[in-house]
Structure 1
């Protein structure tokens, strides 16, 4: 009398008894590879989304900065101002590294505060951050805390136009209180550069030109 194969009951073929250990291990390996691939794709997608969001935020900050500077410069006036010590300063001063100080008109007064519509403002780069400094009064007042406008700034260069000529500084000794325009070049950390020309006292600037910070004049 011949018995049934070991582990197989009557009426059950040997090839229907279940998965072997090798088959289970192969299945688990394939599942693990698919799961790892899924996690990698999801992680890559999240990082790409974060990078894109950060880039959009940076571009928005740049556009806001240039719009604010253009608005300030477009409303610059010939009004001279006094510093905290009472010394009279030129209506507009500017250096080759983009530091500017001037008095602008059109300062909105929503709360009807007892002040003029003129405002003294300044721009500077400190610690890789482009800052705007406002003063509560045109004459003799200490500045308010600086407002950070743009981060990751490597360097800023500026030149000032008057009667068809460019100068790397302005202090009012060139024959007029205000220059006609300023060309501002901003180099960001990472290599990206922008250049914008802004009219002073008469209008507003065109949008920035990407990658033109080192372009020839």
Structure 2
């Protein structure tokens, strides 16, 4: 006896190949959109972290420079094997990109025989566009070995300018501490440092004494 085939209800049919391809395509698009959103969030997080790092580095560098300037002391510096002392505050930023001055009241390590007096050197390396800092831990060092290694404070610094306030008659002058026709005190009444950063833009620090 022959059994007649039964009709399969439409609700019981499986997906056709075309429908399956369409579903997989939608899933793939959703996955790609999710990956793009995740990548964008990760890039934004990296940019924020980089901005925070740069802001923290800027804050530390400016605080260090300001603290050095506020600690400037009217004390001459005797270089090793030198016959003449250097002025307490010596601005050679125009020619050599160097600002040198004596400081007092700086913290020292426990057990170190030092009175908190030091000689700080800020140097603008024009070739590499870096602002460096170096310290003599005493004002009468016995040898060059006492000079600490240079430390990079800022990079990508295009310009470095120093001005010292000599009083109402002269106003702001450059080259404080260099030989000149007018006698001056060991420290100016105020000092202004300006430097141009490719990262942070123009920066300015002013300290009065």
TM-score (norm 2): 0.82
Task: Report matched runs for 1:4-43 at 5 Å.
Answer: 4=5, 10=6, 12-14=8-10, 16-43=12-39
Partners in 1 of 2:75 and 2:199 — Cα distance?
39
Task: Report matched runs for 1:186-201 at 5 Å.
Answer: 186-190=195-199, 192-199=201-208
Partners in 1 of 2:114 and 2:133 — Cα distance?
20
- Taking only aligned residues, the RMSD between alpha carbons, in angstroms, comes to 2.3
Q: Please say if residues 66 and 205 of structure 2, whose CA atoms lie closer than 8 Å, have aligned partners that are also in contact.
A: no
Q: 148-157 vs 128-137, which deviates more?
A: 148-157
Structure 2 residue runs without a partner (length 5+): none
Structure 1 residue runs without a partner (length 5+): 5-9, 203-217
Partners in 2 of 1:116 and 1:81 — Cα distance?
14
Partners in 1 of 2:110 and 2:47 — Cα distance?
40
Partners in 2 of 1:168 and 1:21 — Cα distance?
83
Question: Is 2:73 the partner of 1:88?
Answer: no
Q: Please say if residues 165 and 191 of structure 2, whose CA atoms lie closer than 8 Å, have aligned partners that are also in contact.
A: yes
Specify the alignment match of 2:64 in structure 1.
Answer: 68
Partners in 1 of 2:124 and 2:20 — Cα distance?
64
SS at match of 2:116: coil
Structure 1's consecutive aligned runs of 4 or more residues displaced over 3 angstroms after TM superposition are 1-4, 95-98
TM-score (norm 1): 0.79
Deviations for 1:97-134, whole angstroms, at most 9, x for unmatched residues? 56211110012234131222211111112223222101
SS at match of 2:53: helix
Task: Report matched runs for 1:116-155 at 5 Å.
Answer: 116-126=115-125, 127-140=128-141, 141-142=143-144, 143-155=147-159
> How many residues matched?
195
